[in-house]
Amino acid sequence: MGGYHSVVIAFALVGGLTLSGGHSVLAQDQLIPLGGAKDLLTPSEPPNVIGGRYVHDDSIGFLALSPSHWWDNDMFRLYPTEILRVQAKETIGIDPNDIREIQATFGLSFETGQPLFAAVVQLTGKVDGKVLKEALDLDPRPIKIGDHTAVRVNGPVPMVLSRLESAAKFGDGEEGEIWYVGSPDWLIETAAAQAKVDESERGPLPIRLASLPKRDGISAVVEMKTIRPIVSGFAMNAAAQLPHQLQPLGQLPGLTDAILLHLDLKGDAIALDLTLVGIDESAAEQIEGILQDSLIEAQTLAMASIQQNLEQSGVSPAMRDAVQSYAARISAMVMESFQTLRVERDVTIQAESELSIASTGVLVGLLLPAVQAGRQAARRVQSSNNIKQIMLGIHNHHAAYQQLPLSAIADDEGNPLLSWRVKLLPFLDEMELYEQFRLDEPWDSEHNLQVAQQVPEVYESIGLNVEPGHTIYQAVVGEEIGIRPMQTTKFRDFLDGLSNSVLVLEADADEAVFWTQPKDLAIDLNDPLNGLGHARMGGFHVGMADGAVKFISENIDAQLFRKLLTRAGNEPVDVP
């Protein structure tokens, strides 16, 4: 794994843990007691503040992780922490139990617009330099940046690694190492940034951090003043994709000076705080209203989504009622755990979840079947739409040429070269792709295989594990069924009626064929369901010759399905 990707993955994990809290954060200046608890930011004793140590003055985002006490938490008792520690030591050269604190700051280059970041890691143990070198793909040649010796991390984004201190002494008497990894341009100033902040000399972010208490767990701060116009634009565009009830959330960045977040584990619960600092008190009032309304709307939408998934899942009414009741009970517990408080410019949502990691896993396990059923239903709808588009293309082809597409594009001697799926491309809004094929070459010629890497969405096998470029959408081809092999077939040839004749179907995943290959499911009328019935849960879709799309049960009578396949069998058919 390259060095750049290793670092990105590491910080993505940290960021993912932070953001998974969703509603969490540090409070700003004047929070009053919630439910009788002490003021979060004005404890009776002078607080140990975050301060400006290792915080670049141009940074706009801050993230701190203090995980050491988590290893003894009840939530991790059943986790294989011993194995994870050894695995990390062998993979990146660092024992997670030695990580005292990770502090990262983020910003943007005013010259290039590129992101800049600096991460400072405090360790109580020693780093295995050899393993770390391999994990981060370090350039073996050291470089000097000011007074610091560093090595470059190979990757698309300029980064360096430097050990700031090899025998650091921490405030509680522990000793260890301090490492820097981040943008080379930020190394000197990040290393020199002191804990004490002079407001006349430091940037907005370290000034804010000078008054915030240092707390175990995960803390994040985003200073919005300099990036508010950019973030507001993105937020409004993103909010437009949300349900209309939640679209007011897009207004929040434009009303906010800073976002403060904190997450920590307390016993078997997760404590979350989120504070939005308004640009003024009027803005704070608007923020409070938007947050309160959005929490209620989110709960309503979540319950509606669960109900819809259950209705499409096919579970029994009793099971549906039971899952809905359980979801409603858990949803109510979650909502009750949130407290919203506004003090002047600060609007805080505070929650201490009663759902431990273990119980959350049980909840997910119980609701997962409903979610999976909803996903299956969505895939069925999408696949049905694909067949609908294919049938529409076939009808338009018949209207243009007074016949169905031949079972394959052939050479002058009648040898099949390319599938009917290629011939249909102009009628599927894929004329540009169609014109790239050489119709006088076989499907597996070097040129045609290269072009075929562009698989039209309409032929993609939704939700199925098939080889790249393969499709389950196949035509019914035979002397007595569907399209005649390499012969003209017209709608008037379907004497059984277009609505009683299957023309296109979903084959099983193991019957998928390369989409340009002139090949379709070989149908044996003595065993007409061979290779069919497992494309979707409970059955498969078919496209009838009249353009309708139907779902055929996997339990359909074989003789009935045989009647649906024949073109002119003169059998009475009751279409399921």
Closest CA to 520 of 459, 571, 449, 570: 459
Q: What does the angle CA 75 – CA 78 – CA 84 come to, to the nearest 5 degrees?
A: 100
Residues 14, 64: Cα–Cα separation, whole Å: 9
pLDDT attached to residue 536: 85
pLDDT attached to residue 352: 67
DSSP string, 393-455: HHHHHHHHHSSPPPSEEE-TT--EEEEHHHHTGGGGT-HHHHTTS-TTS-TTSHHHHHHTTS-
Distances from the Cα of 361 to the Cαs of 17, 213, 355, 368, in angstroms? Answer: 16, 32, 9, 10
Region of residue 272 (phi > 0: left; psi between -120 and 50: alpha; otherwise: beta): beta
The DSSP call for residue 356 is: -
The DSSP call for residue 213 is: B
| Cβ pair 63, 50 in contact under 8 A | no
| Cβ pair 346, 284 in contact under 8 A | yes
Provide the token pair at 185: 């341009």
The DSSP call for residue 534 is: -
pLDDT attached to residue 11: 36
Residues 356, 300: Cα–Cα separation, whole Å: 23
pLDDT attached to residue 565: 92
Burial of 337-352, coded b for 16+ CB within 10 Å and e otherwise, reads bbebbbbebbbbbbbb
Burial of 369-386, coded b for 16+ CB within 10 Å and e otherwise, reads ebeebbebbebbeebbeb
pLDDT attached to residue 547: 92
How many residues are present in the chain?
576
> Residue 12 class from Cβ within 10 Å (0-12 exposed, 13-18 middle, 19+ buried)?
exposed
Q: What does the angle CA 214 – CA 160 – CA 199 come to, to the nearest 5 degrees?
A: 40
Residues 513, 24: Cα–Cα separation, whole Å: 50
Q: Which residue has the tokens 């505070």?
A: 350
> Treating both helix axes as pointing N-terminal to C-terminal, what angle do 357-401 and 281-313 enclose, rounded to 10 degrees?
70
Segments in the chain below pLDDT 50: 1-46, 357-358
Quickly count: other Cβ atoms within 10 Å of residue 533's Cβ.
19
